Structure 1
């Protein structure tokens, strides 16, 4: 099937390459000439495991191409819209400028029977506002939210755990759902749940999922705050309540909290939309979820201060990680960088290392020191803080080896990813998040 993907950022580039990898003919369209040039040469503009391989394969096969020319979308059966919806500069609401521009730019090239499939995370009600413009061309608007995990985005696109398609009522909606089943034929053949809803429900599915995940993470971080003043161990607490099948252990890891380009701005946009709908009280708890999350970053900084007798001035501190999560070079709203910048502001000499995100971080915060090699970054450090749980930090770095490199033996475990007993047994002053 011929497909177009409007917007070739993180979501769009992965989606375009993944759709080509399962046999479709795909054109990716973006206004950023440098991005299009990079993708056209088969070069992934960001780090995502598996993307480079399917991008190279798609370009070589002729099934995948990229352009800045919107008219090249003409003739495609399904047009996916995957542009960004950042937080507005003057408030919490989502900025729909790019969504509206993408749809308006696409309208002249739509034909009767075409399907426009929104994938961007948008406030509920957005599809209803866009529908008249799309239907005036004879095309059908549906909403097909993405559920990608950065670091696993290729797998999540090709082999998702579920597919959700919001469609209009009647024959156009039924026809569109059937076409989307053909688009995702490999997943459908594996009996992947294919959930057909109305448009509003499909929009809500994505933001509700993110809100729930953010709430679960902030819940255990709230418990960490209680643990810190009572002497309890939040990791043991999480293990104990995680055995309850109604709760589960996943995403009950206390630490410095979540970041990235989705969860923080999506829960804020959800709160703002609820206020617009007159139901702000329904999700008022999300404000506290956000506040708890931000407090954990400050707590990590406090732990460093406490461990270094109240001052980090002219102390060498090595920050392990810059990306907001491992297996990614994404630094958007990164807790790791936030902590590093705060420590720098207190007078510390901060050295950051990361397997993938150094160059992105350096462009945003050139005032910090960056070292690619982990061991070199650890040399002469007065303290180490783990903020992004890459395997080469969490699993491969031993306390014995670290002690041969650093000046001090102070470690702050911002992700509770290390064995406290092992580090203390090796002579380190170990400080965890919500751990005695």
Structure 2
């Protein structure tokens, strides 16, 4: 099939490449000329394992190209995926839908004949109904434009796998009656071709048994927000319990193992530590809270405010743990922070707990040096005042304390011997509870873990895909 993907950031570029990998003829469209130039040259402008190979293979095969020409969408295809960003508003918690509106405003007037828009972006409930009215006003008299919504569930670091081997596909279908009211809740598929088109697009995937859940607009919009909210709640829950463990002297690792054996709870994402960050989970739970307020139901998801507060509190707790390790004073001390991305297998530093901790320590007068395997360039752009090293060993040079802030494999498997003769003092703060505490203590290190004592071993780490996002998260959820 011929498809377009409008918006070629993390979501859009990944989706475009993966749709071409399924054999479709795809054009990616974005207003950012530099981004499009890099993608057309086969270069991924962000770190995502496996994506560069798929991108180059499909460009070379002629199934994928990128352009800034918004008129190319109408010329190329009748099915258009919408994958633009929906960041948090600068002065509030609501989702900023300006990119979504701009994409629709640019696309719809150019369309003639029958077209299907499939939204992928994370949007507040009610957005589809608003967009449908907008599309109705913008549509040419010779156009029949249908809107559907199919939210993404990508985990950064596993986005290719999640696109080509998803655990489910969700499709929201709707329509407006003459009064502008959504009639989809009664019969979401009535008069719609979206289900048939989506089944053809994902035929190869659906044949493996992946479920396609067809529903109305509002449910599809709420599915992604609810998934991320649930995941964020689970993470903040175990971190709240870890605060009690710190006071009581209990072992949060064993506690998480014990409750995780209950199949109603499960062990996944019950790892105490610095909490979640990234561009999805934090802004999505805030957007859901703001939307509930707008709908007159602030108490329905009011608990998410505490989920957010617990998560942010862990960053302050990590800073306090560093102070404690250094006897209450960080001024003039050398601190190595290993990790800058919000999670491993990503170069995303949006709302990164690691960089929040590093910057707060620097503001307290410490000399902070950061190293991350993939996120150095992004970190420098966001926090140019911090010092950066070219390796973990260089970052730890004459360090008074080492802080593990992102659980990259090279930090998890690092041994005390690697830092022997490098650091000025044998102190380490495990912000992700990912190290073997006994190994470090046996080597003479002052080992401290966020979340209370770690008497013998770290919690058994889940697959790296379970380290949040946000998606993710939220989130599997991004």
Q: Shorter-chain TM-score category?
A: over 0.9
Which residue of the partner structure matches residue 83 of structure 2? Answer: 82
User: 1:105, 1:175 → 2: CA distance?
Assistant: 23
User: Which blocks of at least 5 consecutive residues in structure 1 are unaligned?
Assistant: none
Please state whether the residue corresponding to 2:163 is helix, strand or coil: helix
Which residue of the partner structure matches residue 357 of structure 1? Answer: 375
Please state whether the residue corresponding to 1:351 is helix, strand or coil: strand
Residue 291 of structure 2 is aligned to residue 291 of structure 1: no
Aligned residues between the structures: 435
Q: Which moved more, 1:326-335 or 1:378-387?
A: 378-387
Structure 1 residues 227 and 173, CA, compared in 2 at 3 Å: closer, same or farther?
farther
Please state whether the residue corresponding to 1:161 is helix, strand or coil: coil
- TM-score if structure 1 supplies the norm length? 0.98
Which residue of the partner structure matches residue 231 of structure 1? Answer: 249
User: 2:131, 2:299 → 1: CA distance?
Assistant: 27
User: 1:299, 1:28 → 2: CA distance?
Assistant: 43
Please state whether the residue corresponding to 1:138 is helix, strand or coil: strand
Contact conserved, 2:368 with 2:387, CA < 8 A, in 1? yes
Q: Map of 1:165-180 to 2, 5 A cutoff? A: 165-168=171-174, 169=184, 174-180=192-198
Q: Which moved more, 1:60-69 or 1:293-302?
A: 60-69
Contact conserved, 2:243 with 2:452, CA < 8 A, in 1? no
Which residue of the partner structure matches residue 146 of structure 1? Answer: 152
Match of 2:167 among 158, 161, 176: 161
CA deviations 1:316-362 (Å, max 9, x no partner) are 11101000000000000000000000010111111111110001101
Q: Map of 1:7-406 to 2, 5 A cutoff? A: 7-74=7-74, 75-135=76-136, 136=139, 137-168=143-174, 169=184, 174-395=192-413, 397-406=414-423
CA deviations 1:197-225 (Å, max 9, x no partner) are 11100000000000000000000000011
Deviation at 1:174, TM superposition (A): 4.4
Structure 1 residues 115 and 231, CA, compared in 2 at 3 Å: closer, same or farther?
same
User: 1:152, 1:187 → 2: CA distance?
Assistant: 17
Please state whether the residue corresponding to 1:139 is helix, strand or coil: strand
User: 2:211, 2:376 → 1: CA distance?
Assistant: 39
Deviation at 1:113, TM superposition (A): 2.5
Residue 426 of structure 2 is aligned to residue 409 of structure 1: yes
Higher helix share: 1
Q: Give the 4+ runs in structure 1 shifted more than 6 A.
A: none
Deviation at 1:181, TM superposition (A): 1.0
Please state whether the residue corresponding to 2:39 is helix, strand or coil: helix
CA deviations 1:5-54 (Å, max 9, x no partner) are 11001100100011111101111111111101111111100000011111
Deviation at 1:83, TM superposition (A): 0.6
Please state whether the residue corresponding to 1:191 is helix, strand or coil: coil
Please state whether the residue corresponding to 2:18 is helix, strand or coil: helix
User: 2:49, 2:341 → 1: CA distance?
Assistant: 14
Contact conserved, 1:94 with 1:122, CA < 8 A, in 2? yes
Higher relative contact order (CA 8 A, sep 6+): 2
Deviation at 1:172, TM superposition (A): 5.8
User: 1:243, 1:314 → 2: CA distance?
Assistant: 46
- TM-score if structure 2 supplies the norm length? 0.89
Contact conserved, 2:333 with 2:366, CA < 8 A, in 1? yes
User: 1:16, 1:134 → 2: CA distance?
Assistant: 23
Deviation at 1:422, TM superposition (A): 1.5
User: 1:19, 1:403 → 2: CA distance?
Assistant: 49
User: 2:194, 2:42 → 1: CA distance?
Assistant: 31
Task: Tell me how large the CA RMSD over aligned residues is.
Answer: 1.2
Residue 444 of structure 2 is aligned to residue 427 of structure 1: yes
User: 2:272, 2:431 → 1: CA distance?
Assistant: 9
Deviation at 1:402, TM superposition (A): 2.3
Contact conserved, 1:140 with 1:172, CA < 8 A, in 2? no
User: 1:69, 1:258 → 2: CA distance?
Assistant: 37
Please state whether the residue corresponding to 2:370 is helix, strand or coil: strand
Which residue of the partner structure matches residue 2 of structure 2? Answer: 2
User: 2:110, 2:2 → 1: CA distance?
Assistant: 14
Q: Which moved more, 1:280-289 or 1:174-183?
A: 174-183
User: 1:173, 1:217 → 2: CA distance?
Assistant: 42
User: 2:252, 2:220 → 1: CA distance?
Assistant: 35
User: 1:173, 1:379 → 2: CA distance?
Assistant: 67
Please state whether the residue corresponding to 2:244 is helix, strand or coil: helix
Deviation at 1:59, TM superposition (A): 1.1
Deviation at 1:111, TM superposition (A): 3.3
